[in-house]
Amino acid sequence: MSSRIREQLLSLLLEQGDAFTSGEEISRRLQCSRTAIWKQIEELRKEGYQVEARPKKGYRLVHRPDRVAPEELKPHLRSQRFGWSIQYHSQVLSTQLIAHDWARKGANEGSLVLTEEQTKGKGRMDRAWHSPPHSGIWMSLILRPTITLAQAPQLTLMAAVALTRALRRETGLDIRIKWPNDLLINGRKFCGILTETRGEQDQVQYVVLGMGINVNTLEDFLPDELMKVATSLAIEGGRTYHRVTLIASILQSLEEFYDAYLKQGFEPVRILWEEYAETIGREVRTETSQGTIAGMAVGLDPSGALLIRHQDHLQPVYSADID
Amino acid sequence: MSSRIREQLLSLLLEQGDAFTSGEEISRRLQCSRTAIWKQIEELRKEGYQVEARPKKGYRLVHRPDRVAPEELKPHLRSQRFGWSIQYHSQVLSTQLIAHDWARKGANEGSLVLTEEQTKGKGRMDRAWHSPPHSGIWMSLILRPTITLAQAPQLTLMAAVALTRALRRETGLDIRIKWPNDLLINGRKFCGILTETRGEQDQVQYVVLGMGINVNTLEDFLPDELMKVATSLAIEGGRTYHRVTLIASILQSLEEFYDAYLKQGFEPVRILWEEYAETIGREVRTETSQGTIAGMAVGLDPSGALLIRHQDHLQPVYSADID
């Protein structure tokens, strides 16, 4: 209850900008006592908001901390279903773990786990993912598509396209997709996408779509071993970005592409993926269970496999690291 | 430790059959004190074993309860890897739930969850599965195959073939497979197989293979609503079966077919599945997302889809209920 009042109070203060709002006015609009309001203002201050209080004038917000909490995010949401049900934690081991537990307990499609910091974030194949506090977007979205297990990998490609579109629009940067799930700027990775699926027989029960995005991370804060291969939106754009705005934009884009994918199938995703891909038209080399495959990456097949021209035929590759 | 001594003690007593074994002899072979042995004999008695103790002669086993506990199962195991690591519980909600938790915590391939009774057993699509105490085989096996999500449904078919082969050999009954995951005798179901998969991107991380088998269930104990569609090995065979013997045989068969599947692919499974199928050559009708499909079931395609002759073409069906 109180967090709901806090959310409404914050919206109201944000709405007023630099102007003061009287306690009486707030009390009337939120339909609660002035003592309750005072209590919530104290709570906001503890979270890093600076609220100026002047006798006879009222309250105004003079500084907002950089948080991705629900009360910050919700006023920005333009999606219909994605991101309205939120679990927010200031620190977690990994948002994927929390989202899996939540999904097993019946969380609805579009439920979102958000955090400021992951202490044990992970990428593909259990590789560690560096997720320092307040500098990036570390989140997991629960999906419940009526598709088969065979189709599940298409969701990774769908998400890569949706994130690229949203982040290009928000930042103007030349974001490219590296097969299958990395987003790059100038050849360096700033974003990883991880889809984990749970299924019964051949049907998907749920998917947890994990996203890790280096947003305002500065070069000094990247681990040494990543300096040459990693980057962030801030490093590439030469400015910081408002994370909540980016999250709202990503969720809207994901919802649009996801709905289109369920309705029209994989083809629209496939076409845009090829358009955004760093990988297409390049010589690549990959290790598969059938040995090394080297050749030019020419596109995606209708199921989402990467087609590599190898010894005069097109070899589909379903999942692999490529050099 | 003590359960390990109990296991060894039970093996020794079983080995001796009707003959007595002296406390001294047991103490020497198990390398523990006679007090420790006495304690374990008391434990065995609590579990329903009747151990006769005669001064100067020693101990012998005169009655064994019908349990599927590890110490009963292990002397019968002929598999190399399947079933050696066991979680045994006298009662659980569902062996699938326990196996998923165990797999997430890193359980090895072949780890097995066994129980005497499930209070919330489930089949496909969360349908309830009646699992009364001590009358059936309720178990879940953890697999970690290096296959794609698209291939995972083939494991259901592989398991149906492996169980049919093992149970035909043990009982001599005419067991048939109904698409995709039921085993029947005389048109009635006595066994269901459920495969639940967890994957990352397009790769399987683990599969929990759940099996529910009505073994010694008598007609009076089947729920009324199931009387016409359900049966048990005992009802059909006119005798009771030693569950532990059946489990050992199933695990050996599963291991053989699983290893062959990973090495040689789906084709050997496909051929035997068609041989054992109740479904092939029959008129079937099924609801799919593309509408009703009715026609003769003619076989499996190379990926494991059921082929139905429908309006002059062969329609592959990947997962559905058929009438």
**A168-211 pLDDT per residue, tens:** 999 999 999 998 889 999 999 999 999 999 999 889 999 999 99
CATH 3.30.930.10 is the classification of domain A70-276: yes
- The residue among A109, A265, A317, A152 whose CA lies nearest residue B197 is A152
Sheet holding B291-300, edge to edge: B283-288, B291-300, B306-310, B313-317
Name the residue among B146, B195, B198 with its Cβ closest to that of A201. Answer: B195
Total residues belonging to chain B: 323
Contact map slice: A 199-228 vs B, CB within 8 A: 199-203
**B175-184 pLDDT per residue, tens:** 999 988 899 9
Name the residue among A146, A181, A200 with its Cβ closest to that of B201. Answer: A181
Residue with tokens 């891909």: A277
Measured between alpha carbons, how far is B47 from B41 in angstroms, rounded to an integer?
Answer: 10
Q: How confident is the model at residue B320 (pLDDT cuts 50, 70, 90)?
A: low
B119 pLDDT higher than 60? yes
B43 pLDDT higher than 90? no
- The residue among B260, B44, B93, B69 whose CA lies nearest residue B161 is B260
Residues of chain B with CATH 2.30.30: 283-317
Mean pLDDT, rounded, for B249-277: 95
User: What's the pLDDT at B4?
Assistant: 79
User: What's the pLDDT at B124?
Assistant: 67
Q: Is the dihedral of CA B275, B147, B320, B184 positive or negative?
A: positive
Contact of A290 with chain B, judged by CB distance below 8 Å, is answered with no
Peptide bond into A223 cis (omega under 30): no
User: What's the pLDDT at A103?
Assistant: 96
Q: Which of A156, A181, A202, A287 to mutate to test the interface with B (most CBs of B within 10 A)?
A: A202
C-beta separation of B305 from B316 below 8 A: yes
- In the annotated binding site of B for biotin, the residues are 118, 189
Mean pLDDT of the residues in chain B: 89
User: What's the pLDDT at B323?
Assistant: 62
Identify the CATH assignment for A2-63 out of 1.10.10.10, 3.20.20.10, 3.40.309.10, 1.10.150.130. Answer: 1.10.10.10
User: What's the pLDDT at A317?
Assistant: 83
Intra-chain end-to-end CA distance of chain A, in Å: 52
Residues of chain B with CATH 3.30.930.10: 70-276
Q: Which residue of A has its CA nearest to B319?
A: A202
User: What's the pLDDT at A319?
Assistant: 67
A2 pLDDT higher than 70? no
User: What's the pLDDT at A279?
Assistant: 81
B321 pLDDT higher than 70? no
Q: What contacts B307, CB < 8 A, 6 or more positions away?
A: B297, B298, B299, B300, B301, B314, B315, B316, B317
Q: How confident is the model at residue B71 (pLDDT cuts 50, 70, 90)?
A: confident
- The residue among B172, B165, B168, B187 whose CA lies nearest residue B258 is B165
A104 pLDDT higher than 90? yes
Q: Which fold has domain A283-317?
A: SH3 type barrels. (2.30.30)
**A118-156 pLDDT per residue, tens:** 888 777 666 777 777 778 999 999 999 999 999 999 999
Q: How confident is the model at residue B322 (pLDDT cuts 50, 70, 90)?
A: low
Backbone φ and ψ of A117, nearest 5°: -155, 135
User: What's the pLDDT at A320?
Assistant: 63
Measured between alpha carbons, how far is B58 from B24 in angstroms, rounded to an integer?
Answer: 8
Q: Which residue of B has its CA nearest to A304?
A: B202
C-beta neighbour count of A148 within 10 angstroms: 18
Residues of chain A with CATH 1.10.10.10: 2-63
Mean pLDDT, rounded, for B42-50: 83
What one-letter code names the amino acid at B64?
R
Among the ranges given (A288-292, B242-246, B306-310), the one the predictor scored with the smallest mean pLDDT: A288-292
Q: Which of A93, A124, A201, A206 to mutate to test the interface with B (most CBs of B within 10 A)?
A: A201
User: What's the pLDDT at B10?
Assistant: 86
User: What's the pLDDT at A322?
Assistant: 66
What percent of chain B clears pLDDT 90, i.e. is strictly above it?
54
**A58-98 pLDDT per residue, tens:** 999 888 878 899 988 998 999 999 999 999 998 899 999 99
